[in-house]
Amino acid sequence: MADEIERQLDVKARLLKGERGVFDVRLDGELIFSKHAEARFPDSGETERLLAARLSA
């Protein structure tokens, strides 16, 4: 996932190991996606689309 984010968005991604099934995506501390809140993992490409939208805002 980090490689795909870096390739598509030209930003350095850092993956951190979570605990108890946590899967959150943050950009500069802002929550972009939460598996807990959505009750699912992101769809293919969804994380990249959400990050791209936030970066272009």
Residue 51's nearest CA partner among 26, 29, 15 is: 26
Helix/strand number for the chain, H first, E second: 3, 2
Position 36 confidence tier, pLDDT thresholds 50, 70, 90? very high
Give the chain's domain count: 1
Position 49 scores a pLDDT of 95
23 Cα distance to chain centroid? 9
Question: Domain range spanning residue 42?
Answer: 2-56
What is the distance between the alpha carbons of residues 37 and 15, in angstroms, rounded to a whole number?
Answer: 19
Position 54 scores a pLDDT of 93
Residue whose pair of structure tokens reads 């108890």 in the numeric block:
20
